[in-house]
Amino acid sequence: MARKLPKLDHVKYVHRRGRVYAYFNTGQKRDGKPIYARLPDPASPGFFDSYAAFVAGRSKRAAKEYTVADLAHQYLKSAKFDKLADNTKALYRNQAAKIVEVWGKYPVNRLEAFDVRLVLESGQWGAGTCNMVRAVLGVIYRWGRQNHKATIDPVKDIERAKTGEHEPWPDDIVEAALASDDQLVRLAVHLLYFTGQRIGDVMAIRWGDLRDGHVFVKQTKTGKIVEPPLMAELRAELDRTPRKGLRIMEGLTENNVRRRLQAFTLAHGVKTVPHGLRKNAVNALLEAGCTIAEVSAITGQTHQIVEHYAAKVNRRKLGKAAIVKFEQARKTSA
């Protein structure tokens, strides 16, 4: 006989492969669809405790108090926010919009780590987006505490989600892009690979930033000024590039360039992101014998990050050397 399931508000049951799964309607929506959270097995001792916690969380969102949305909107109008770089502002606005959509109706001091974790672990966002939302929510609440608008930190006990690293492009794909008939792809890859900079910083490089045999870059993310040397291959590519304005990539947006590069590598059977070329640049510099300090001076990365790459490069070199010795030993014994 099938067991009798309790009739509870906001709960739906799904029968799958002989098992019953319970889901709670959180009252939140994503793209117009309700967000459901998985409850424990209805027969388990902790089922009703979990249900009560979800109900309490849903009730909080209905309260009429100073809300997370109020806090977020005030932060975006603050002097603190106004001092940020334009790219950072755009990034924070995007994440703040997600925060307002999901937790906006919560009373500001009643948003708990449980409520935040519930959404971050729901699977509606990728790990990278979850980390950005978590970070910006923390920034907003830090500002709120400093300005006596909040007393809690709802992300204090929430760890960053694990993300995969952006992989470098395969060497043959890099060479194909550097020789491509597509002028946009060829120029973008030359700039990214031979300067080792992020795509946003490459998009901002002006013709006037090419001075004294170097490319002067003020990095948006860190505020660092770096001066990668103007390498011969990059100089040759720039010499045949028409000047259409102040910027080398004049008339193009970051999204347009990103899509073109991804379409190019997909056509060659590989899925990549432009940031992977930053790793290609670091690896190439290290393999050419540059020191960690020299690579750091060019890319603007910390010594610790470059050391992380160097360890992989060294393992690769040692592996190749080991194979050579192994093959020589086999020939000698033959």
Instruction: Give the pair of three-digit tokens for residue 322.
Output: 């080991």
Question: pLDDT tens, 191-212?
Answer: 999 999 999 999 999 999 999 9
Question: pLDDT tens, 13-52?
Answer: 998 888 899 999 988 878 778 899 999 998 888 899 999 9
Q: Indicate the range of 94-103, 256-265, 278-287, 308-317 predicted with least confidence.
A: 308-317
Q: What pTM does this model have?
A: 0.53
How far, in Å, CA of 217 to CA of 205, rounded?
7
What pLDDT shows up at residue 72?
97
How far, in Å, CA of 71 to CA of 154, rounded?
13
How far, in Å, CA of 311 to CA of 26, rounded?
46
- Cα torsion 59, 60, 64, 68 to 10°: value is -140
What pLDDT shows up at residue 287?
84
By the 8 A CB rule, do 163 and 174 touch?
no
- Per-residue confidence band for 64, with pLDDT thresholds at 50, 70 and 90: low
Residues of the chain with CATH 1.10.443.10: 171-318
Instruction: Give the pair of three-digit tokens for residue 169.
Output: 């492009």
Instruction: Give the pair of three-digit tokens for residue 103.
Output: 């937790």
Question: pLDDT tens, 155-165?
Answer: 998 988 776 56
Q: Indicate the range of 81-85, 146-150, 232-236 predicted with least confidence.
A: 81-85
Please give the CATH superfamily to which domain 171-318 belongs.
Answer: Intergrase catalytic core (1.10.443.10)
